[in-house]
């Protein structure tokens, strides 16, 4: 699944809700504007050649997973807050598994709060 808002001056949000997902990158959500990104995965997510979930935005970014997210490279790659004070939130009963990279990489480039609450097992084989 690829979801993008490409207008730099745009304020629209990018929201993805999915069950089981498998692809080169499982879920990729990008917002070049000021709007938020919200990802809810209710099943397993697998990135067969890249990240399980990749989220990049200038505002707030929220990721919630119910099951395991696995990436051939990184389980979760999240960059948010680049445009200011957007909060970053990662929650889930499922864990993150990285292949050649980290289980989860979470970066806040702004002044917002970062909250991470993952109860599932996370690991990296790389």
The confidence score (pLDDT) of residue 97 equals 98
Rounded to an integer, what distance in angstroms lies between the CA atom of residue 87 and that of residue 36?
9
The confidence score (pLDDT) of residue 81 equals 87
Rounded to an integer, what distance in angstroms lies between the CA atom of residue 53 and that of residue 119?
17
Strand, helix or coil for residue 60: coil
The confidence score (pLDDT) of residue 84 equals 77
pTM here? 0.96
Counted residue by residue, the chain has a size of: 126
The confidence score (pLDDT) of residue 38 equals 98
Residue 82 CB burial class (10 angstroms; 0-12, 13-18, ≥19): middle
Q: In whole angstroms, how large is the CA radius of gyration of the chain? A: 13
What string of pLDDT tens digits covers the 126 residues of the chain?
999 999 988 899 999 999 999 999 999 999 999 899 999 999 999 999 999 999 999 999 999 999 999 999 999 999 998 877 789 999 989 999 999 999 999 999 999 999 999 999 999 987
Annotated domain spans of the chain:
25-109
The confidence score (pLDDT) of residue 10 equals 87
CA distance to 11, 30, 62, 88, per residue, from 114 (Å): 21, 18, 10, 5
């Amino acid at each position: 699944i690829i979801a993008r808002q490409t207008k730099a001056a745009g304020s629209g949000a990018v929201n993805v809700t999915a069950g089981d997902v498998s692809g080169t990158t499982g879920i990729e959500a990008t917002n070049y504007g000021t709007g938020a990104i919200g990802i809810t995965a209710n099943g397993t997510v697998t990135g067969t050649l890249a990240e399980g979930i990749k989220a990049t935005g200038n505002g707030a970014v929220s990721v919630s997973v119910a099951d395991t997210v696995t990436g051939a490279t990184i389980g979760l790659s999240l960059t948010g807050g680049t445009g200011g004070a957007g909060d970053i939130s990662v929650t889930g009963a499922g864990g993150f598994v990285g292949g050649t990279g980290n289980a989860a990489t979470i970066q806040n480039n702004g002044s917002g709060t970062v909250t991470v609450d993952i109860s599932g097992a996370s690991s990296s084989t790389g």
